[in-house]
Structure 1
Amino acid sequence: MELDMATDELKSALNRLRRAQGQLAGVIKMMEEGRDCEDVVTQLAAVSRALDRAGFAIIATGLQHCLTEETQQPGDMDRLRARLEKLFLSLA
């Protein structure tokens, strides 16, 4: 499955990933500075949520793309469902 996203969808996903990247850099810095464990874990949870949201947005876009272009033959929907289920589970 190729990543085929509209410009606005791609921009939104990239923005989420950049925010997560910045948050992760912040977590690393906090750990290096010996900051409070609760603060570090709170920021780490925010990074995780940001990555999950970006991943789900990418998968949802993939689902939309696949449903319109890859379900032309008998059995395609079953194969697509299995692939998307595997993708969703990889985020858990």
Structure 2
Amino acid sequence: MAYFQRDAFLLLALAASLLMTALDRAIGLELVPPLSASLWDTSWFLDDTGRLGAFIAAMTGYRARPELISVLVYTLYWFAAVALLRSGRPRPAERAS
């Protein structure tokens, strides 16, 4: 069971990365407004254009300088993913039967 949970988390993180990449491209094409300038800058700690930062960004959707729309979409994605995972879990009463 632990392997499934780890694999599910890795797949969800990769899907979040793909979602963020699609959102970045949509912002670049001006299909989606960014809603703000960069909210913060963590590039001093982990730059998403560096080797390690680019790997983490590719695997999780990390952005060193995210706009408001990116933060909102990323947060909503994880809330929806967790809610869907919990809704599929059997309850303790169902496990006993």
The TM-score range, normalised by the shorter chain, is 0.3 to 0.5
Output the TM-score relative to the length of structure 1. Answer: 0.41
Choose between structure 1 and 2: higher helix proportion. 1
